Structure 1
Amino acid sequence: MGGSSQNQGLNNMWLKKLLAILATRIAYSGNKEFRCVVTLDGALFETSGTMSGGGSRPRGGKMGTSIQASSMSGEAVANAEKELSLRVEKLNSIRQRIAEAVWCYLASDKAVAILEMELAKIQKESCKHMYEAAAAMD
């Protein structure tokens, strides 16, 4: 039975190596679908080239477990909200002006297309009349 556990250990080693190789290939391939890859043993491969994790035992972190009291005063919050409101109003005004400018551009573009068609028609008629006048002189 000792040989069986050795084979199992050898198989696990090869599986871990294979998973690491596959994770590396996926992480560094051109496919943007995979921003980072995590192996079964917890190693993290990122496209930036870094690798982290994979420790022998999982550990719990304390990040985000407590909420710190806000250091901003009520007056500062009110001023920030007022500033935000003014900037949102200005942004909406700019968006409205952009929409109007786009509408004017599209209307002008349509008018130019109509005028170009009319000009082509007039030029064609003018050439026709010049040809007829030249033919009448002969």
Structure 2
Amino acid sequence: MSLTVGFSNPGAVTIGGKTAATISALSEAEENAAAEASGADKDDGNQVRTGGAAQEESKAESGDNLSITVKMLLKRMQELQKQLQEQQQQLAAAQAASYPTPEAKAQVVMSMQGQIADTNSALSEVTNALVKEMAKDSSSSGGLVNTTA
């Protein structure tokens, strides 16, 4: 379900005390967890593993010391960074392209700049939410660093 409403500062809007980026990340996490539980996303490369170091290795790779919220925020941050890169490439192409009038070029370039600004804003929101979540995890668990041998 999605709802689109025009606000001058969409980053300031919260739903239930959470930003839209956090809600989106949490819903993605729930979808991924449901897919994993049903086995729909399983692609192990036909490898069979039983116990021992291989399990510990896979746990270390998945970052089990991070909460699901932190993992989803990191995933969302990577998606936004990729989107930002694509938009910057599109902007460069738009600036290099020829247009019938200077006004047409200016309109296209400004539109792309607006999209980049929106993506930067979303990236900033996710970064802020990630910092807050990691600080919360850090204070409740005594830190994100595992000091056990």
Please say whether Structure 1 and Structure 2 have the same fold, judged by a TM-score greater than 0.5.
no
Larger Cα-atom Rg: 1
- Report the TM-score, using the length of structure 1 for normalisation: 0.29
- Report the TM-score, using the length of structure 2 for normalisation: 0.27
Q: Select the structure with the greater relative contact order (CA < 8 A; seq sep ≥ 6).
A: 2
